Amino acid sequence: MILVTGATGFVGAALVRRLATDRSFNGVVAAVRRKAESLPQGVQQVPVGDLSPTTDWSTTLQGIDAVVHCAARVHVMQDDATDPSHAYREVNVSGTLNLARQAADAGVRRFVFVSSIKVNGESTQPGHAFTADDVPAPLDPYGVSKFEAELGLREIELQTGMEVVIVRPPLVYGPGVKANFASMMLWVARGIPLPLGAIQNARSMVALDNLVDLLVTCVKHPVAAGQTFLVSDGEDVSTTELLRRTAQAMGKKAFLLPIPAFVLEWGAALLGKRAVAQRLCGSLQLDINKTRQLLDWTPPVSLDEGLRRAAEGFSQ
């Protein structure tokens, strides 16, 4: 029996749908904030309220063999919390470790934690990708909270013997994606000219179906125990190329103006938008060779197929 937290979220909902069709599991329990109607038939849902340091998981964890922990306070661009670091730690660290301790006490065999590539850092130099074994260097409160949760989980693993598997994804896209990727698709759909036609960076992303496939693998594969994995589509693209291929997937044409990256970065700095420029112009590459080799895993969906599926699920 598998417990999925954050089961109505972007990743959690897709994972629940996949697990519900996998006959190698005895069943799926979906932990949700409040009762939902969008879960597949046959999935047992358990309303648990907000993820907190005091959430009681004892009843929910009965008979559970593995937990995939997707629930989190997610990264937001404009955080209106009075103390963002405290808000992230309350949910992503204390809430996660509270669940993990109770899972170990309940006899759960494996705990799969959806972390973030932000644990590694915010950017890479072209051709020098992050690896799963790099020294972590998180910079923002979200990344720090995920790293602290990872450290706590490894301690629980040592103390209890519960197997912990950590997965650090980059930007995840797919049907129903929101935030920056949805905005990009909206710009393309409306034919808005964008000054992003001369960006020569390299960025890794992961299609929702690829991330879900790896999470299922991490639940099953014996070698995954105790490991940290990076995940991506296995193909890195520039911002310019991403826009062109997204437009193609949507049956549109991208109108891209060839403005040099340094001009965009200069303008963004004047407007106080350095972080935005860094994401558009900077590189963030992931090396997934460890994931491929240890798990004998290959991303089942190509970048172009992932973009096509995202386009099918897009609505203006």
**Which helix (H) or strand (E) element contains residue 4?**
strand 2-5
What is the residue-wise DSSP string for 248-279?
A: HHTT----B----HHHHHHHHHHTT-HHHHHH
- How far apart CA 312 and CA 108 sit, in angstroms, is 38
Indicate which residue of 142, 173, 229, 297 is catalytic: 142
Q: Is 173 a catalytic residue?
A: no
Question: What gap in Å lies between CA 292 and CA 211, rounded to an integer?
Answer: 13
Q: For residue 231, what is the DSSP state?
A: -
Number of residues that make up the chain: 316
Residue 31's CB: how many other CB atoms inside 10 A? Answer: 27
Alpha carbon separation from 162 to 42, 97, 150, 205 (Å, rounded): 28, 13, 14, 30
Residues labelled as active-site residues: 142
